[in-house]
Amino acid sequence: MDIIDRKILSFLQEDARITLTEMAKRLYISRNAVRYRIELMEKQGLIEGYTTVVNPLFSDNPTLAFILFDVKPNNVAKCIRILKRYDEVYEIFRLSSGTAIFIKAFFKNAHHKRSFILENIEGMPVENFTVHTVAQIGERKGIPVKYLE
């Protein structure tokens, strides 16, 4: 990956709807060269896809929560398998300690979150869990391009 690829990634992170023509103009290269580079980064898996970020303010009372689980080492894989089944769970992270799992989950409202925890989380083979509800959502970004080397 060179500086041009990094710039293309930066443009796409700022605005995924930017046209190939606009990027080509800014980079002083052909539109086909931009397209080729993007397609190559997609094939390599560097670009995983393009998404639409829905403004949570358009939902009745959306609740975003991060939940940290302390798990015995022999239960980590089982807990991850269980968490993958739930539509509410958007991302699952196994932390470097090896016995902690961190998830990002969306709920329709506070009642939905509470029900989810009571019906699903409390029955899981975890030692402890902590729920952190997000009070305000700031700017959402991907991995900074400068860290892709």
Q: Look at residue 29 and tell me whether its pLDDT is greater than 70.
A: yes
Which phi and psi angles does 28 have, rounded to 5°? 60, 40
Mean pLDDT of 111-127: 90
Q: Which is more confidently placed, 54 or 135?
A: 135
The pLDDT confidence band at residue 140, using thresholds 50, 70 and 90, is low
> What's residue 141's pLDDT?
60
One CATH from 1.20.120.1750, 1.10.3720.10, 3.40.50.2300, 1.10.10.10 for 3-44: 1.10.10.10
One CATH from 3.40.140.10, 3.30.70.920, 3.40.50.10320, 3.40.1670.10 for 56-133: 3.30.70.920
Q: Please list the residue range(s) of the chain that carry CATH number 3.30.70.920.
A: 56-133
What is d(CA 96, CA 76) in angstroms, rounded to the nearest whole number?
A: 12
What is d(CA 16, CA 50) in angstroms, rounded to the nearest whole number?
A: 7
Give the N- to C-terminal CA distance of the chain in Å, as an integer: 7
Mean pLDDT of 3-11: 94
Q: Please list the residue range(s) of the chain that carry CATH number 1.10.10.10.
A: 3-44
* Average of per-residue pLDDT values in the chain: 87
Mean pLDDT of 89-112: 90
- Exposure b/e, 63-95, CB count within 10 A at least 16 = b: bbbebbbebeeebbeebbebbeeeebbeebeee
